[in-house]
Amino acid sequence: MSVEEEVFKIQKKMSKITTNDGTGQEQALDLLKALQSLNINLEILTKTRIGMTVNELRKSSKDEEVIALAKTLIKNWKRFLAAPGSTAGKDSSKTGSDSKSSSASKSSSSSSKDKEKSSSNNSSSKDKDKKDEKKTSSSSSSSSTKDERRPTQTSFPASSGMTDAVRLKCREMLCNALKVGEAMEGWPEPEEMAIELEEAIYAEFRNTDMKYKNRIRSRVANLKDPKNRTLRGNYMCGAITAQQLAKMTPEEMASDEMKKLREKFVKEAINDAQLATVQGTKTDLLKCGKCKKRNCTYNQLQTRSSDEPMTTFVMCNECGNRWKFC
């Protein structure tokens, strides 16, 4: 099957799927990846009009991964139109040559009548051509400066060779989070550390599903937190490796202030739970299996028939651990 036939086949499938209600996102992503792997030229783009179909899919989709990949494809295809030697350039050159030949024939016929007028007309036409050339050169220079000022999609493709739009966006988010605050002397580049951290997270999941995205978001939120400078500093100076940071829990990544606040809430919750319970008998004969301390309170209740032994309910006064035995 030729490339053109494959593009037509993908286009038909893409026009049938629905994305407004959230369904068809995985199929749309697979079709976009299939288009990305094909060698599509300007002729195929013109015949199939696949660019319009991909653009409509991008507008109707709500999935970030589908939108990012569609934008990447459209951006790559637009380069064919801006490339030199395109059909539009050839047509313009042909029309220019035809207009020049017609103007030359008219000037030769009019020169026999009045040579002075023709010479003045030629000089004025030359002046107009020079002005037109200046305008076109100025417009091209302004467009080139606009292209230079326009921000690129991400700062990573040139250095790492990565083509996955979702992973590139995640690396950019991590890099921006690592740039928050002042950088110490001797620290590595944030781009390198962002790539290393993203690769460690991707190595755990091996895909860019929701678990991967949630892991990225939690790292970004903690790294860019102005109250959590310790985490960012430890990672940038090498005290915490990328593999360790990729698997740290929210409690481990939390700032010192947040850890103290959580510890305070836990103690208050334990005290409230202890006050709400029925007053039992304190004893040091029972050992808590969690904190290994002998500071417990127990109650005995008849939970079964009267001829069977009573059930003993025990609560640790230190950590709040509860258990029972007969």
214-269, pLDDT tens digit by residue?
Answer: 999 999 998 888 888 888 888 888 888 999 999 999 888 888 888 888 888 888 88
Question: Quick check: 175 pLDDT over 70?
Answer: yes
User: For 28-87, what is each residue's pLDDT tens digit?
Assistant: 888 888 888 888 888 888 888 888 888 888 888 888 888 888 888 888 888 777 655 444
Confidence (pLDDT) at 104? 42
More confident residue, 170 or 304: 170
* Closest among 221, 236, 226, 166 to 198, alpha carbons compared: 166
**DSSP per residue, 61-82:** ---HHHHHHHHHHHHHHHHHHH
Q: Give the class (CATH, top level) of 278-325.
A: mainly beta
Q: Return the H-helix or E-strand segment holding 94.
A: helix 87-111
Mean pLDDT computed over 201-208: 91
Q: How confident is the model at residue 199 (pLDDT cuts 50, 70, 90)?
A: very high
Tell me the pLDDT band of 131, cut-offs 50, 70 and 90.
low
Mapped to the 3 state alphabet, what secondary structure does the chain carry? CCHHHHHHHHHHHHHHCCCCCCCCHHHHHHHHHHHHHCCCCHHHHHHHCHHHHHHHHHHHCCCHHHHHHHHHHHHHHHHHHHCCCCHHHHHHHHHHHHHHHHHHHHHHHHHCCCHHHHHHHHHHHHHHHHHHHHHHHHHHHHHHHHHHHCCCCCCCHHHHCCCCHHHHHHHHHHHHHHCCCCCCCCCCCHHHHHHHHHHHHHHHHCCCCHHHHHHHHHHHHHHCCCCCHHHHHHHHHCCCCHHHHHHCCHHHHCCHHHHHHHHHHHHHHHHHHHHHCCCCEEECCCCCCCCCCCCEEEEEECCCCCCCCCEEEEEECCCCCEEEEC
According to the model, what pLDDT value does residue 75 have? Answer: 84
Q: What percent of the chain has pLDDT over 90?
A: 20
Query: Residue 78: its pLDDT value, please?
Result: 81
Domain definitions of the chain by residue range: 3-82, 157-256, 278-325
Among 1.20.930.10, 3.40.50.1860, 1.10.150.20, 1.10.760.10, what is the CATH number of 3-82?
A: 1.20.930.10
Cα–Cα nearest to 107, from 128, 94, 124:
124
pLDDT at 152: 40
Taking the model in full, what pTM does it have? 0.38
The answer on pLDDT for 158 being more than 60 is no
| Averaged pLDDT score across all residues of the chain | 75
Q: When comparing pLDDT for 210 and 45, which is higher?
A: 210
Q: What pLDDT is stored for residue 26 in this prediction?
A: 80
90-118 pLDDT tens trace: 444 444 444 444 444 444 444 444 444 44
Q: What is the pLDDT of residue 277?
A: 54
Task: Report d(CA 311, CA 143) in Å as an integer.
Answer: 84
Q: What pLDDT does 18 receive?
A: 54
Q: Is 324 helix (H, G, I), strand (E, B) or coil?
A: strand
